[in-house]
């Protein structure tokens, strides 16, 4: 069975130019005693916007691995796929993020509900879970509500998994189930019921992406109570460890943190929890690299700076359309967005200060950063002009991509093995 290592980092490369810079961050981390597996991920929606094909992600990853002599595991993730979109990723991906958020809250067949409850009599009364200070208390009404909310989603995940398995073969790919793109977070008791159902439907998941309490907005820090997140994350780790033993799920099953880039205020809690418990974690950081491309262009000056300003100006004027698909994961105050006419006068230092995620900098602008995070469609429409700018400013861009992943992400969130 293809297994995912304990620590893994989801990296996105919108325009397939930064795989070497991303991998270089993993190499430098390994030199510091942090062993992580890079997982290049790109969704069907992102491919559609950029005009790329899934094979391009595999090609870029393989080329980076060859160029830098990486001899450790790496993977290519078909991100947020469903039955309709999985087919295009089958030949190029060995990691599938099965997104069933749309099925959450849908009714499951009554016979399936009755059969699940009959198979799982332990989901009643109090259940002791190692690592939790108090037992989980299951009530008939509470279990019924959870099953009504999530069983249809698990059944759908099973269909998608078997669709992939029938075409790729059992044990040849890594499976993640994603339930993060929904309104309400899953509590630890709900997560345990979901994992019991996943085991019942024969899905050998190695990562699961629940929705956590708090806001995971694109490209900016966590919004919420970091201490509350720490308690929730630790409780979820305890539930996963219990479910692995109780329901014979894969032993390397771990939490996956989506929209995980730039969540600096909770990285310490994640790092401490996995170090304390011996658990693993998968952190997805896809969009942060695209922002480093824009920062690298701006830092390069000249035509690169002009290109970064042009991308912002077009994103500013088209912000309603760009933001609509991401409304649940951004908080942008239009009044805090600088007018493109003002940005036109900025030098490289001013532009990079506004965009680089440094909360100690007085010029840092999280609203501008979030807009550009969802604005990569603007660059996609530029076609060869944008790609030529990436090539011309490669030194500046790759340096920023590597530094961002290594120092702001990897070293903060993953414990050292030394």
418 residues of the chain, pLDDT tens digit each:
999 999 999 999 999 999 999 999 999 999 999 999 999 999 999 999 999 999 999 999 999 999 999 999 999 999 999 999 999 999 999 999 999 999 999 999 999 999 999 999 999 999 999 999 999 999 999 999 999 999 999 999 999 999 999 999 999 999 999 999 888 999 999 999 999 999 999 999 999 999 999 999 999 999 999 999 999 999 999 999 999 999 999 999 999 999 999 999 999 999 999 999 999 999 999 899 999 999 999 999 999 999 999 999 999 999 999 999 999 899 999 999 999 999 999 999 999 999 999 999 999 999 999 999 999 999 999 999 999 999 999 999 999 999 999 999 999 999 997 5
Q: What are phi and psi of 54, to 5 degrees?
A: -55, -35
CB of 143 within 8 A of CB of 197? no
| Residue corresponding to tokens 């399936």 | 112
pLDDT at residue 418, rounded to an integer? 56
Cβ atoms within 10 Å, residue 247:
16
Spatial distance between the Cα atoms of 38 and 18, rounded to a whole number of angstroms: 13
Long-range contacts of 335-342 (CB under 8 A, 24+ apart): 336/365, 336/367, 336/368, 337/365, 337/367, 337/368, 337/371, 338/365, 338/368, 340/309, 340/312, 340/313, 340/316
| Residue corresponding to tokens 């998968």 | 282
| Residue corresponding to tokens 């009599």 | 121
Spatial distance between the Cα atoms of 89 and 11, rounded to a whole number of angstroms: 17
**Domain chopping of the chain, boundaries:** 7-287+406-413, 291-393
pTM here is 0.97
> Over the range 302-316, which residues count as b (16 or more CB within 10 Å of their CB) and which as e?
eebbebbbbbbbbbb
CB of 7 within 8 A of CB of 29? no
* 7-287+406-413 is classed CATH 2.60.40.10: no
CB of 221 within 8 A of CB of 173? no
Tokens, residue 228: 């509350």
Would you give the distance in Å from CA 242 to the centre of its chain?
24
Spatial distance between the Cα atoms of 9 and 221, rounded to a whole number of angstroms: 18
pLDDT at residue 183, rounded to an integer? 86
Tokens, residue 212: 């956590």
């Amino acid at each position: 069975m293809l297994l995912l290592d304990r620590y893994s980092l989801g990296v996105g490369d919108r325009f397939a130019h930064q795989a070497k810079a991303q991998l270089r961050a993993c190499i430098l981390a390994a030199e510091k005693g942090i062993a992580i597996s890079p997982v290049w991920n790109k969704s069907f929606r992102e491919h559609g916007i950029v005009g790329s094909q899934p094979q391009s992600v595999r090609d870029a990853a393989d080329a980076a691995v060859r160029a830098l002599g990486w001899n450790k595991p790496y993977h290519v993730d078909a991100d947020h796929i469903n039955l309709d979109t999985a087919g295009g990723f089958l030949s190029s991906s060995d990691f599938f993020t099965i997104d069933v958020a749309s099925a959450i809250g849908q009714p499951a067949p009554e016979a399936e509900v009755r059969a699940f409850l009959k198979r799982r009599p332990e989901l009643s009364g109090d259940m002791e879970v190692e690592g939790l200070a108090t037992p989980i208390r299951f009530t008939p009404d509470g279990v019924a509500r959870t099953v009504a909310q999530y069983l249809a989603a698990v059944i759908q995940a099973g269909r998608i998994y078997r669709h992939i398995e029938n075409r790729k073969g059992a044990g040849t790919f890594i499976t993640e189930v994603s339930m993060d793109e929904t309104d309400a977070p899953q509590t630890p008791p709900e997560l345990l019921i979901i994992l019991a159902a996943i085991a019942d439907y024969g899905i050998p998941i190695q990562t699961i992406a629940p929705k956590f309490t708090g806001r995971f907005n694109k490209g900016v820090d966590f919004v919420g109570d970091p201490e509350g997140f720490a308690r929730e994350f630790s409780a979820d780790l305890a539930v996963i460890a219990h479910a692995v033993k109780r329901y014979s799920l894969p032993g390397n099953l771990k939490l996956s943190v989506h929209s995980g880039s730039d969540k600096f205020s909770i990285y310490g809690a994640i790092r401490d929890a996995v170090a304390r418990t011996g658990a693993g974690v998968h952190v997805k950081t896809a969009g942060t690299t695209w922002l480093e491309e824009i920062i690298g262009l701006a830092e390069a000056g000249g035509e690169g700076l002009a290109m970064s300003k042009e991308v912002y100006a077009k994103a500013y004027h088209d912000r309603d359309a760009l933001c609509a698909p991401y409304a649940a994961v951004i908080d942008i105050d239009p009044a805090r967005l600088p007018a493109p006419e003002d940005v036109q006068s900025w030098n490289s230092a001013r532009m990079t200060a506004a965009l680089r995620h440094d909360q100690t900098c007085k010029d840092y602008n999280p609203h501008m950063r979030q807009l550009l995070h969802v604005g990569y469609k603007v660059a996609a429409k530029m076609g060869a002009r944008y790609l030529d700018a990436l090539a011309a400013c490669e030194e500046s861009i790759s340096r920023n991509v590597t530094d961002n992943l290594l120092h702001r992400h990897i070293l903060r969130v993953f414990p050292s093995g030394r």
